[in-house]
Structure 1
Amino acid sequence: MVWLMASATGLIVANLYYAQPLVGPISQATGLDPGAAGLIVTLTQIGYCLGLLFIVPLGDLVENRKLILGALSLTGAALFAAAFSSSAALFLAAAFCIGLGSVAAQVVVPFAAHLSKPETRGKTVGTVMSGLLLGIMLARPVSSLVTDMLGWHAIFVLSAIGTGVLAFVLRSRLPQRVPAHAMSYPALLGSMWQLLKTTPILRRRAAYQFCMFGAFSLFWTTVPLVLAGPQFGLSQTGIALFALAGVAGAVASPIAGHRADKGKTRSTTAMALGAGALSFAVPLLFTQGGYAVQLGMLVCASIVLDMGVSANLVVGQRSIYALGAEVRSRLNGLYMSIFFMGGALGSSLGGWMFAHHGWRGVLLAGLIFPAAALILYATEFTQRAKP
């Protein structure tokens, strides 16, 4: 069941990232202005954020399997609409709905936490999140390869079909889970603000991941433009192979979850945030060397960044899931929506910085995100905050 959930989250969340390396061809095909190309990624993430705030909390109120299948239906329909879009407005609307429906993944993750034992919850969540992060990391190379062979429309058609198959499998395999709550939907949403105000560990962990995911989205939104540019001249296949290197970062998820189960939350957080800063600082400071050296440095930076992001994500989820099963979906919705706002900020900022200040400007902007998280992390010691 854990591996089924891990696979499901990966397949669902991949829908958020298929368009990321295809910003150029999609913009040309739909007539989208190059300066607004970042909206392709940003609107998807905004839809995802809104779904996290208004759909995922329903996991504390309605039967979870039914909620997952409803969200997947929306995703499948939006994917078909994206595949056959001929205008920028239609594609952007479909991108928003893809993000909105893909929050099904974040109903599955707390579901896995419900089914696990408390002493192994971190490892279980880490395994499921490995699937989710593999989906994020594999989405870019898969979409690039499919685009090279069949055109950019094909990846959305294939994903729509895959989403339908996944919905059928989950309907037959997932157990039912009916929450004990009897509150109304407005009361459920109203309780989220109170949870945010009264849960300092949620605010802290969400702030850390806001910064880390902002850096992640900034990097992966702009690096395909750099790789396709005159310095490296890579094709979509070459960019896909580059993105495959980032998959190695997913190995950090179960390791971080296991360390959190052992009470090593604070040290794991420090390593994760430090890895994020290092991934931008090294290519920013070391600009010497030929083609192979610079490309190799970018590959290493992508792996280190993905490891830091995945480790920090799992440790954060492990911390908030320990706060109580009855509020787990709402806490998860708040946590994920806050840090995906960081992702939306990072992707839009990355496109703007690259257009106006080049790759060096992107690296400087990217470094600010983990640096801010490290400054906040330092207050854990000055304020004696609980890790």
Structure 2
Amino acid sequence: MGLTTGRRTVFAAVCAVAVASIYAAQPVLARIGADLRVPDAALGWIVAAGQLGYLAGLAALVPLGDLVDRRKLIAAHLLLTAVGTGLAAVAGQTWLLLTGLVLAGLFAVVVQTTVAYAAALSTPDERGRTLGVVTSGVVLGILGARVAAGALAELWGWRGVYVVLAVLLATLAGLVLRTMPPDPRREGTTYRQVATSLGGLFREPLFLSRGLIAFFLFASFGTLWSGLSLPLAAAPWNLGTAQIGLFGLVGLAGALGAARAGRWADRGHASLVTGGALVLLAASWLAIGQPSLWLLALGVLVLDFAVQAVHVSNQHLLTAARPDRTSSVIGGYMIFYSLGSALGAATTTTAFAAAGWTGSAVLGAAFAGCAFAVWAWARAGARRQLLRTP
């Protein structure tokens, strides 16, 4: 079967715009806070709101991908994400903004349905390549949103960012219906069966270890990107939103540089790529914590390369182990991602308020060290199991 380049591109675009609806607030947090009178220490909850909605969607909505036509499901979720961003655009009070962001996050799990669908449509020898391309769209949305949001906020204010997202999401819904193949599903499987089997994944060593790695990986990632605008907007740098958004380009370059991680995984090197990338992740915080924009940019580049390499390797291993349940396994894995991202978003602003950017850097490095410890523990366990096997 396989996937054409055009369809991979559409899948990547869906992921980019959907995930941007969660992360677009990050470069404009200071503006949102000033407009809605939110204190600095509480700004992290604006980003965490989308992550918590995302978490609920992972548990409740992603399993639907194993039951219904994913083409129609993707289109419907894109439209509902557009409703959430529309609410955020018109919010005059903090509670309405948070409601819109939770709703957008809830249905932005279309990203995981899309990744699972792309993996299911791929042949085994191209699955890693496909995941590399499609998850590059995720990274484009996470990091490119910072550049676009910063520029749009200079032109139309922070509300204009969410108006543009709503329009793009609705447009992509129509494009998916026109370009993607039908996705007939097997009869007889119920939502309860799929949801129950999702819970069973948490007892599998591979799933649990890769999920815990993702939890700490994205806690470290969220520590950087949910807090970075605060030191950059303050003295001595005093950067504007457009300038802060440019750091997204640096991160994007690093993440796209790791697109070959999927090909490395296809060749059987996923575990080694994970370990090496986690070492780079921890090392990146040494540069990020320094009072230099050049070192900060270098650290951002390395951090995003490491995060993308680990993320692609994780998903490759999990979908290869469960090719018959790609939606459920990706959805379950991303629960760890969402919890980790929310933890990083909520704690980095608190650390910054208490100890400045140095506090945030120590926090991010600690999360990276925890991810490496899980990888080392899982690798040692796999070796012990191999020695016990006759």
TM > 0.5 between the two? yes
Does residue 214 (structure 1) correspond to residue 212 (structure 2)? The answer is: no
* Match for residue 159 of structure 2 among 149, 153, 158: 153
The equivalent residue for 1:96 is: 102
For structure 2, the residue ranges without an aligned partner over 5 or more in a row are: 1-6
The residue that corresponds to 2:356 in the other structure is 358
Distance in 2, matches of 1:161 and 1:119, equals: 36
| 2:118 is the counterpart of 1:112 | yes
How far apart in 2 are the matches of 1:252 and 1:50? 31
Identity across the alignment (%):
32
- What's the CA shift string for 1:169-222, capped at 9, x where partnerless? 11111111122252222222122111221x211111111111111111110111
The CA RMSD over aligned residues, in Å, is 1.5
- The match for 1:231 is 236
Task: For 2:152 and 2:126, locate their aligned partners in 1 and report how far apart those are by CA, in whole Å.
Answer: 38
Given that 2:40 and 2:349 are in contact with CA atoms closer than 8 Å, whether structure 1 keeps it comes out as: no
Deviation at 1:243, TM superposition (A): 2.1
Whether 2:266 is the aligned partner of 1:268: answer no
Equivalent position amino acid for 2:360 in 1? V
Equivalent of 1:142 in 140, 148, 151: 148
Question: Contact 2:147 / 2:249 at 8 angstroms: preserved in 1?
Answer: yes
Which amino acid is 1:78 matched to? G
Aligned position for 1:127 = 133
Residue 322 (str. 1) matches residue 317 (str. 2): no
* TM-score scaled by length of structure 2: 0.94
Kindly state the Cα deviation for residue 381 of structure 1 after the two structures are TM-superposed.
4.2
For residue 75 of structure 1, what is the amino acid of its counterpart?
Answer: T
- Paired residue for 1:258? 263
Would you say 1:54 and 2:52 are equivalent positions?
no
| Structure 1 Cα separation of the partners of residues 359 and 143 of structure 2 | 24
Mapped pair 1:278 → 2:283: yes
Distance in 2 (CA, whole Å) between partners of 1:109 and 1:381 is 26
Residue in structure 2 matched with residue 384 of structure 1 by the alignment: 382
* Aligned residue in 1 for 2:73: 67
Question: Mind listing any 5+ residue stretches in structure 1 that lack a counterpart?
Answer: 288-293
CA distance in 2, matches of 1:324, 1:102: 23
Q: Is the 8 A contact 2:22 2:104 kept in 1?
A: yes
Contact map agreement 1:126 1:314 (CA 8 A) in 2 = yes
1:174 corresponds to which residue?
180
Deviations 1:324-367 (A, max 9, x none): 33221111000011121000000100010001111111111111
Moved more, 317-326 or 363-372: 317-326
Paired residue for 1:201, among 195, 203, 206? 206
After TM superposition, give the deviation of residue 254 of structure 1 in Å.
2.6
Preserved CA contact (<8 Å) 1:209 1:309: no
Stretch of structure 1 that moved more, 223-232 or 321-330: 321-330
SS at match of 1:322: helix
- For 1:338 and 1:372, how far apart are their aligned partners in 2? 14
Give the conservation status (yes or no) of the 8 Å contact 1:75–1:160: yes
Q: C-alpha distance in 1, partners of 2:382/2:38? A: 50
Distance 1:52 1:70 in 2: 16
> Number of residues paired by the alignment?
379
Contact 2:288 2:296 (8 Å CA) reproduced:
yes
When normalised by structure 1's length, the TM-score is: 0.95
Q: Deviations over 1:81-137 (max 9, x none)?
A: 111110011001101001011111111111111111101111111111111111111
The answer on 1:13 being equivalent to 2:19 is: yes
State the alpha-carbon separation in 1 of the partners of residues 220 and 278 from structure 2: 11
User: How much has 1:315 moved relative to structure 2?
Assistant: 0.3
Give the aligned residue type for 1:383.
Answer: G
2:117·2:326 contact (CA, 8 Å) conserved in 1? no
For residue 219 of structure 1, what is the amino acid of its counterpart? L
Matched residues in 2 for 1:382 and 1:106: separation?
30
Is the 2:44–2:227 Cα contact (8 Å) retained in structure 1?
A: no
Moved more, 50-59 or 27-36: 27-36
